[in-house]
Amino acid sequence: MQMVQAQQSNTQDLKSATQHQLNHDHSGHDHSGHDHSGHDHSGHDHSGHDHGGHDHSGHDHSGHDHGSHAGHGHDSHSSGPCGHHDGPYDPTGTAIHHISDGNVYSILDAIRIPLPTFLYAPDKGWDFFMSSKFHIGHHEDGHMSYNGYVMHHGSAYRVVDAGFPMEGSVAHDCFTKKTVKDAKGKDKDINYVMYNGKEYKLDARSTFDAGLLGGGITSFYDYSISKNVLSMILVALLLFFLFRKAAKAYTRNPNSAPSGLQNVLETVFMFIRDEVAIPFIGEKKYMKFLPFLMSIFFFILGLNLWGQVPFLGSTNVTGNLTFTMVLAIIVFIVVNINGNKDYWKHIFWMPGVPVFVKPVLAAVEGLGLFIKPLTLMLRLAGNISAGHIAILSFIGLIFIFGDIFGGIGGNVAGTFMSIPLTMFMMALEIIVAFVQAFVFTILTASYIGAATEEHEHH
Amino acid sequence: MIFLISFTPFQPTFGLAFWSLVIFLLFWALMAKFAFGPIADALQKREHDIQGSIDEAKKARQEMSNMKAENDKLLAEAREERTLMLNEAKEQKNKMIAEAKEQAKAEATKIMQTAQAEIESQKLAAKQSLKAEVGTMALDIAEQVIRKDLKNDSSQVDLVNNLVSNLKLN
């Protein structure tokens, strides 16, 4: 609304107005009624669309135009911001949406399993509820708010506008997005929810990237059992069940040859033990680290494969940087807690090199200490996310062809292109699932091996 | 930048970090205690058992081959002994035969010599007694010749012939 004001008064004030909006002056909304009084849209029915239109035209003038908003100019009264669904297929948005975490577990955009949602805001405390309170619909956007929270693209957002009803549930309209420049000149997306014809600003999702990846400090924290968390729990339980069954078979018939499930798991187990744990850590110490390596390998493998099962939500846990970061931190801690004297000596005062080289090597090795887990984290997330995006892109061909050639014919042509490509990609992704789990485990084993290695020659 | 802004999988979130940590640590602890630990131990034990069995089998085979070698040795020894014994027996036999022959020969020679001596002495005795008898006979014949008066020549001749044919040599 500040944008509109700025447009009407003086374009020279645009910059300050944008910053004003970033600072989020709530009083700006109080003036919106006055600004639009001349447009005859004071009613609460669908006039909100036109308000959105004003805001977008403001963007056009300020040069921050966003591709998806191009059709929502000031003069086009035919479609407001809530007519968003009619736009052409957006492959990027769809792919990103599908590989993201969410507060609802959707299968084929038809079955929506509500998840427990735990939200904490320092100024108002905890909110515990099921995400079905949001009445989630198409695009995983909610239709109802709950205690000042709304659901947009599968994630819970908090309305940070005093005018919005903060208690109980109210029905709201669609969501709009604006891109503004922040103080450093970076583009920043701000989401709004439409309610009673007015836009109410949403706080960003709760992240802790210090603003590096578009997040920042938010007024609430999302501790929900999200789609990824549910997948983790299910995979962990499934693996526990399978391995428990195998372990029982060993204790029941310790001297009989393995068969069935026990045989399959044993083959993989022995492979990790004989090709990863023993060569890298050594015959003497590997038993101490074997459960850790096995946990890492099978947890990652299970989640990789879980995400590849079609029509099961295609969750992207191992492609999520948060998850891989946690694993990498655990690896970092396990490696360095077990580091012996030689390990630290090799990092900070490398033996066998001239003294003037030692500080240089110490700096390099010190950096390497942190780069190792960082690469673990990025490699796994990147590979798995890339696989998901590739598959989604090939499936997206169906809709892209539909858009290009129009109607069912295009869709059919796209389907014929899409099926072999998607099948090929899925086969590849099954290999990637194993390879990435293996790579993560073998690198972890090599770091542990380096940290616990005995040097006799110094 | 627009990509990154909405690239939610790469935005770290508190909730997911918290739950990932909790779930992974629980998974690790439970799997180590109830699944991976027992399986690793069982595998190790089974491998030891298998190795032990193999070693035992190897040992048994070694023992068996040792025993067989010993048996063979014993057999060979026995065979050799048998041959030796046979040879010895043969030698003994030959020796005995030779000895017996020798003895028999000697005995025979001795018997012959005794026999010869006996014959000689008998011959001598016979000659002696013949001499004595011939004398007596001659005397008898002469007596009878003389008693018959020598009637004719032919009767003389017949008488002599008769006398000679009556002459018994021993």
Residue A211, min C-alpha distance to chain B (Å):
9
Cβ–Cβ below 8 Å for A243 and B36: yes
Task: Give the B window 101-140 contacts with A, CB below 8 Å.
Answer: none
Cα(A127)–Cα(A105) distance, integer angstroms: 20
What pLDDT is attached to residue B25? 95
Q: Please answer whether residues A221 and B14 qualify as being in contact, where contact means their C-beta atoms are separated by less than 8 angstroms.
A: yes
Residue of A nearest to B14 (CA): A207
Cβ–Cβ below 8 Å for A270 and B6: no
pLDDT beyond 70 at A23: no
pLDDT beyond 60 at A256: yes
- For residue A130, what is the DSSP state? E
Percent of chain A with pLDDT over 90: 21
With residue A126 as reference, give the H or E element that holds it: strand A125-130
More confident residue, B85 or A189: B85
pLDDT in tens, B100-157: 888 888 888 888 888 888 888 888 888 788 777 777 877 788 777 776 666 667 777 7
What does the pLDDT average to over A376-395?
90
Cβ–Cβ below 8 Å for B36 and A240: no
Q: What do you get for the CA distance between the two ends of chain B, in Å?
A: 168
Check CB contact of A319 with chain B, cutoff 8 Å: yes
Cα(B86)–Cα(A257) distance, integer angstroms: 59
More confident residue, A52 or A307: A307
Long-range contacts of B91-94 (CB under 8 A, 24+ apart): none
For residue A267, the one-letter residue type is T
Q: Per this entry, what is the length of chain A?
A: 458
For residue A278, the one-letter residue type is I
pLDDT in tens, B43-55: 888 888 889 999 9
- Token pair 């427990």: residue: A116
What pLDDT is attached to residue A3? 39
Task: Give the B window 27-56 contacts with A, CB below 8 Å.
Answer: 27-28, 30-32, 34-40, 42-46, 49
Cα(A281)–Cα(A338) distance, integer angstroms: 12
What pLDDT is attached to residue B120? 85
What does the pLDDT average to over A30-40?
38
- Supply angle C-alpha A68, A72, A73, rounded to 5: 125
Q: Which of B5, B33, B39, B51 is the best mutation test for A, with the most CBs of A within 10 A?
A: B39
For residue A112, the one-letter residue type is R
More confident residue, A42 or A421: A421
Percent of chain A with pLDDT over 70: 76
Residue A195 exposed, middle or buried by CB count within 10 Å (0-12, 13-18, 19+) = buried
Q: Please answer whether residues A365 and A346 qualify as being in contact, where contact means their C-beta atoms are separated by less than 8 angstroms.
A: yes
User: In terms of pTM, does the model score above 0.80?
Assistant: no
pLDDT beyond 60 at A150: yes
- Token pair 């983790």: residue: A232
Q: Please answer whether residues A171 and A126 qualify as being in contact, where contact means their C-beta atoms are separated by less than 8 angstroms.
A: no
Which DSSP string corresponds to A312-379? Answer: TT---STT-HHHHHHHHHHHHHHHHHT--HHHHHHHHS-TTS-TTTHHHHHHHHHHHHHHHHHHHHHH
More confident residue, A14 or A418: A418
What pLDDT is attached to residue A95? 77
User: HSE (CB half, 13 Å, CA atoms) of B168?
Assistant: 1
What does the pLDDT average to over B89-94?
92
What pLDDT is attached to residue A87? 65
Residue A291, min C-alpha distance to chain B (Å):
5
* Set of chain B residues whose Cβ sits within 8 Å of the Cβ of A228: 16, 19
Q: Which of A119, A193, A136 is nearest to A163 (CA)?
A: A193
Closest partner residue to A322 (CB to CB) among B13, B24, B26 is B13
Tokens of A46: 């669908």
Q: Which of A386, A212, A205, A69 is nearest to B15 (CA)?
A: A205
What does the pLDDT average to over A155-167?
80
ipTM of the complex model:
0.77
* Set of chain B residues whose Cβ sits within 8 Å of the Cβ of A320: 9-10, 16
Check CB contact of A232 with chain B, cutoff 8 Å: yes
What pLDDT is attached to residue A214? 53
What pLDDT is attached to residue A53? 36
Q: Please answer whether residues B36 and A347 qualify as being in contact, where contact means their C-beta atoms are separated by less than 8 angstroms.
A: no
What pLDDT is attached to residue A10? 40
Cβ–Cβ below 8 Å for A269 and B39: yes
- For residue A164, what is the DSSP state? S
What pLDDT is attached to residue A333? 94
- Token pair 């669904």: residue: A85
pLDDT beyond 90 at A49: no
Average confidence score pLDDT of chain A: 75
Check CB contact of B3 with chain A, cutoff 8 Å: yes
Strand order from edge to edge, sheet including A198-201: A175-181, A187-195, A198-201
Q: Which of B3, B5, B6, B10 is the best mutation test for A, with the most CBs of A within 10 A?
A: B10
Closest partner residue to B20 (CB to CB) among A244, A269, A322 is A322
Q: Residue ranges of the domains in chain B? A: 44-167
pLDDT band at A303 (very low <50, low <70, confident <90, very high): very high
pLDDT in tens, A283-297: 888 888 999 999 999
Residue B72, min C-alpha distance to chain A (Å):
38
More confident residue, A18 or A247: A247
